[in-house]
Structure 1
């Protein structure tokens, strides 16, 4: 490879970029991106969620100068966090992993094109605060591209378990023997209550019905914890419904456990490159408090993933203890932050250096969404 590649790439901002285009599909398929940069996911995020969240698209597009072919896409948004003008990955609380959409080789070439790097840094300004959260371990060094300080730990991990075939072999290796016995006992208890069934939704009606049930299960649970649930908000319910329906058979998979024909548990996830990534779950805790239906649903989901040939069951971000019960191993998550103004420097200082004002600083930079602003919705 050349020592530098100055002049190889052209950089532009294309906020009307078509994520459903053939050129983006080809770029994505040959990139180091995750399911959260999938064409359908980003198309729905920009077109459904961004307007309702008062977030403005900031799509950085890099092309080869000689041919005009697409080389990289950096899907960002401009948002107001209180008085702070922030630039972030296109997330809006629904994505777990963020990476530039390009291959590792192209990214390396791009870093050697000093002119292209300068153009990217110039075009994304102005901002008070650059915040790139949810960076997976070992992925493309976005901070080098943006001229930002080194990444720091988010203080949380993502968890995934390697799937092996057959299911019984994976189960024996991933789950503690005593936990295997416990779940087998819970399953027997559950089967005595009625006709138990586990399936993957395969049409629009079953998907919408399951999501409505999930919404009902999740509302009281998250409200009791003092925060809100994204699924209760029409724009988010529409987003997840749209992805689940349009992604049926490709990007999305929705598992349901039923008792006598009624949904008692559900898990929504994304499929990409042999990975199944859990993004949302809901269980009838009140009706089946002692049967561990959450764990049983994940166990059955793992079985189905193995039968489909998946290699990874990814529980995504969060340090919930149940993930380790399924043999999931932690992977650190990273963040990159950079101030772009005096106000940004003050907010960044507060978040990093002054614990006594950190809660106030965090509140100041909290994303404000229309309606129900007092709550902080979570998945």
Structure 2
């Protein structure tokens, strides 16, 4: 469903037009009509597919706002959609794929599948990114809040890099708060050894040789990529099992437990990738010899253009833990990505030691909060406080470790008392 178009032009521009003579007015009117933003709200994806896929092609638009990624989520979660499209004339200038979720009596419009996304860019045409000024972006923000009035209380656009791969985001013109989670990346070259040279290459190679020796001592291994849909689904289910064991051991809630979340990732496996691009590809380390056929580590990768993103990973801690099979799999995937011409390997959100050992780039991301209702204003105020508090905690390793231990204890108590898996 589509609302009536909403056009936004500044009062200053209208005032200038009123002072022009007829010839000037005619020319200015033609130019204004060509440049005016026509911004509309849509409640389904399918009517926008052609325009959406045309914007997908731009390498600076995030894979996590791609049509296939969002379509898989909407088919498995069924949240109300609030997709904002902007046009200049007949050409799409941007699409913001939002869904409305309700929590604590507050309706929040956020990026589709926000919890599992990294580097949210929205979808912008190259022309809009190059030419959009602060007034254009202010008009977009005004349009969003006007179109969503009565449907949402707050717009929360999370994990936006205000600068990404040499370009400034149009969102940079809006007030933003730094997200507590940063993303970590390793730039790649066509030569894996040159890629390693950015790190402590000598130490890395020594560790790799040690890992290989330890696994070869029990029969060896192979790095493989799941190809058939049957193999993909079986490997994904094994990932869910391995991850559940890991979360339980840490006393943390299982973020992959919900059936609809698992269905989302299974649906991504059904999308046919073009060339090397894919929303989800499963890699694994399969053992030989004593553990023949057992899977020691699994990782899910996405690729768009030259950008590879690690979506998730797991290990079987009962299999050769002394060889660090998870880190070994990263070595093999990064080496393969170099050979296949990728330029950036993205470890995603979250500050963990293994990411810092691999990565030379730390990307700061921001959240943009646009309150709509009175409840939304209160929620935005609270959200800013939560984000700042989390940033302080995560910036203090000792405090963060203490909080994690408290959380693990709190989560374990009810699980032990009821015999259920939290």
| TM-score (ref. length: structure 1) | 0.83
Matching of residues 150-161 of structure 1 within 5 Å: 150-161=175-186
2:148 is the counterpart of 1:124: yes
Q: 1:275 to 1:20 in 2, by over 3 A?
A: farther
Please tell me whether the aligned partners of residues 73 and 264 of structure 2 are also in contact (alpha carbons under 8 angstroms).
yes
The corresponding residue for 1:189 is 214
Whole-Å separation in 2 of the counterparts to 1:346 and 1:220: 38
Please tell me whether the aligned partners of residues 59 and 305 of structure 2 are also in contact (alpha carbons under 8 angstroms).
no
The 10-residue stretch of structure 1 (272-281 or 95-104) with the greater mean CA deviation from structure 2: 95-104
Whole-Å separation in 1 of the counterparts to 2:260 and 2:354: 30
Determine which structure has greater relative contact order: mean sequence separation of CA pairs < 8 Å that are 6+ residues apart, divided by chain length. Answer: 1
Q: Secondary structure at the match of 1:217?
A: helix
Q: Secondary structure at the match of 1:199?
A: strand
Whole-Å separation in 2 of the counterparts to 1:284 and 1:354: 34
Alignment partner of 1:46 out of 74, 93, 104: 74
Whole-Å separation in 2 of the counterparts to 1:119 and 1:130: 12
Whole-Å separation in 1 of the counterparts to 2:244 and 2:139: 50
The corresponding residue for 1:281 is 313
Matching of residues 85-96 of structure 1 within 5 Å: 85-96=107-118
Alignment partner of 2:191 out of 131, 147, 166: 166
Q: 1:330 to 1:91 in 2, by over 3 A?
A: same
Q: After TM superposition, give the deviation of residue 57 of structure 1 in Å.
A: 0.5
The corresponding residue for 2:382 is 350
Whole-Å separation in 1 of the counterparts to 2:363 and 2:156: 20
Q: After TM superposition, give the deviation of residue 176 of structure 1 in Å.
A: 4.4
The corresponding residue for 1:300 is 332
Which protein has the bigger helix share? 2
2:83 is the counterpart of 1:59: yes
Q: 1:155 to 1:81 in 2, by over 3 A?
A: same
Q: Secondary structure at the match of 2:323?
A: coil
Q: After TM superposition, give the deviation of residue 182 of structure 1 in Å.
A: 2.0
Tell me the alpha carbon deviations over residues 145-201 of structure 1, each in whole angstroms, 9 at most, x when there is no partner. Answer: xxx5x1111122110001123223322433442243122112111112124100122
Give the gaps of 5 or more residues in structure 1. Answer: 359-373
Whole-Å separation in 2 of the counterparts to 1:281 and 1:22: 33
Whole-Å separation in 2 of the counterparts to 1:292 and 1:348: 42
The corresponding residue for 1:140 is 169
Whole-Å separation in 2 of the counterparts to 1:166 and 1:130: 43
Whole-Å separation in 2 of the counterparts to 1:275 and 1:186: 27
2:253 is the counterpart of 1:221: no
Q: Secondary structure at the match of 2:124?
A: coil
Whole-Å separation in 2 of the counterparts to 1:128 and 1:22: 30
Give the gaps of 5 or more residues in structure 2. Answer: 1-11, 14-30, 391-413, 416-422
Q: After TM superposition, give the deviation of residue 343 of structure 1 in Å.
A: 2.5
Q: After TM superposition, give the deviation of residue 303 of structure 1 in Å.
A: 0.9
The 10-residue stretch of structure 1 (129-138 or 111-120) with the greater mean CA deviation from structure 2: 111-120
Q: 1:116 to 1:283 in 2, by over 3 A?
A: closer
Please tell me whether the aligned partners of residues 203 and 245 of structure 1 are also in contact (alpha carbons under 8 angstroms).
no
Q: 1:109 to 1:179 in 2, by over 3 A?
A: closer
Q: Secondary structure at the match of 1:231?
A: coil
Whole-Å separation in 2 of the counterparts to 1:152 and 1:46: 28
Whole-Å separation in 2 of the counterparts to 1:177 and 1:106: 45
2:66 is the counterpart of 1:34: no
Please tell me whether the aligned partners of residues 277 and 305 of structure 2 are also in contact (alpha carbons under 8 angstroms).
no
Whole-Å separation in 1 of the counterparts to 2:298 and 2:358: 18
Please tell me whether the aligned partners of residues 6 and 116 of structure 1 are also in contact (alpha carbons under 8 angstroms).
no
Tell me the alpha carbon deviations over residues 314-372 of structure 1, each in whole angstroms, 9 at most, x when there is no partner. Answer: 101111111121233211111112333332333333344599x99xxxxxxxxxxxxxx
Aligned length: 348
| TM-score (ref. length: structure 2) | 0.75
Q: 1:180 to 1:12 in 2, by over 3 A?
A: same
Whole-Å separation in 2 of the counterparts to 1:116 and 1:11: 8
Matching of residues 287-366 of structure 1 within 5 Å: 287-353=319-385
Q: After TM superposition, give the deviation of residue 41 of structure 1 in Å.
A: 0.5
